[in-house]
Amino acid sequence: KKKARVSCSLPEPSWEERLANAVTPLWRLPYQEQLQVKYESQRKILQTLASRLEELGIDAQKPGGLCCPLQPVVPSPIINGYRNKSTFSVNRGPDGNPKTVGLYVGTGRKRNIVCVKANHVENIPSKHKQVAQCYEEFISHSPLDSCILFHEGGHWRELVVRTTSCGHTMAIITFHPQQLGQEALATQKALLKEFFTCGPGAVCDLTSLYFQESTMTRCSHKQSPYQLLHGAAHIFEELLGLKFRISPDAFFQVNTAGAEVLYQAVRDLCQATGDAVLLDICCGTGTIGLSLAHQVSKVIGVEVVEKAIEDAEWNAAFNGISNCEFHSGKAEAVLPQLLASWEDARPLAAVVNPSRAGLHYRVVRAIRSCRSIRRLLYISCKPEGEAMRNFLELCCPPDPRKKLTGERFAPVLAIPFDMFPHTVHCELLLLFTR
């Protein structure tokens, strides 16, 4: 007789577990094990960089096959609820509710996207979850549909929540106007304001409530201004003894406590003191440059987001820092012009903290061509991505065909910082010298 097969299949995970696995894949591991996983991933990245440099004819092999020494992962001071910014989507939930406010499980390619409430996600603070729940309550009573696909109509879209350690909360609601006139839009804005100030949403105690009409997936303030419906125009954060103003779309490290640890390391490794000038590329609201301003003669910041530059200038003035200048514009447009005529005899150190897209080729070219830059700190949240291209461009032998004519840099030290507990991501600080 054939033996009956015994089914050992595990029960299907709940939607909450699926979301946690998608957003915070390391959430089941004890924190020390999470750090070890991240250390191994960073070690492989440095091994890859060493191999790629070897292919370029550069002897970059250090012990363990790394391109430079790798320090242990610096833990985050806060492990749960550390995010100061969360972006929630509006889409169909597991129960079919088209006005579910949460995070996505699934992919657009497979057409299996489901929006799941983020109540159990460990890296999102309770205040963000509270605002998301209230936003869902508001749109559930609205006669207007959610905007799941632009061409199919609907209006209610994303919610961004930003909080600070000072107790401030900013909510930004994205709305697709479709064919609504100004009167109808004014009605919706008035209803939102009433809900979050006098209605059930008042429990959120919002510092700022913003509204943005957007017909695109992502829309800058310049393309479609953020409209302040209630409260203060900015929220404020304290970092390393300084106070920082934050606009709706300004970049600020998502883990404030972790950022303090990271910036302290930048300050130590930069070795810019006395008459040195610090070049802060992709400076955001000026956090890195301003935190180092007291130990250098001058700080020069470059940032593409205009509102962030306004914040940086305000932050400098408010904190009584007068040796900083900030330039608004794309780094690839501003920096080559800035450095081409650089004749200052003072030592010049550079810190770059680009987005996942990395630095534009022209930025790397300008850095290499400027002989005054002997020390460069590169902060990357995705070193295995486009940043790897930048590392190779910084370290490759001079190549006149690519206009990489300056003396090459060499990686000297790597320090990973766990800015994103429970996720696989890590912030890598790489020191280059020449």
Annotated binding site for S-adenosyl-L-methionine: 253, 303, 353
CB 30 within 8 A of CB 421: no
**In this structure, what token pair is assigned to residue 32?**
């020390």
Q: Give the DSSP H or E segment for 278.
A: strand 277-281
Residue whose pair of structure tokens reads 């109540």 in the numeric block: 119
Nearest CA among 253, 348, 356 for reference residue 308: 253
- One-letter amino acid identity for 371? R
Q: What is the dihedral of CA 431, 432, 433, 434, to 10 degrees?
A: 180
- Which residues have a Cβ under 8 Å from the Cβ of 276 and sit 6 or more positions away? 296, 297, 346, 347, 348, 349
Nearest CA among 320, 270, 269 for reference residue 290: 320
CB 217 within 8 A of CB 231: no
Residue whose pair of structure tokens reads 């779309």 in the numeric block: 249
Spatial distance between the Cα atoms of 255 and 78, rounded to a whole number of angstroms: 8
Active site residues: 381
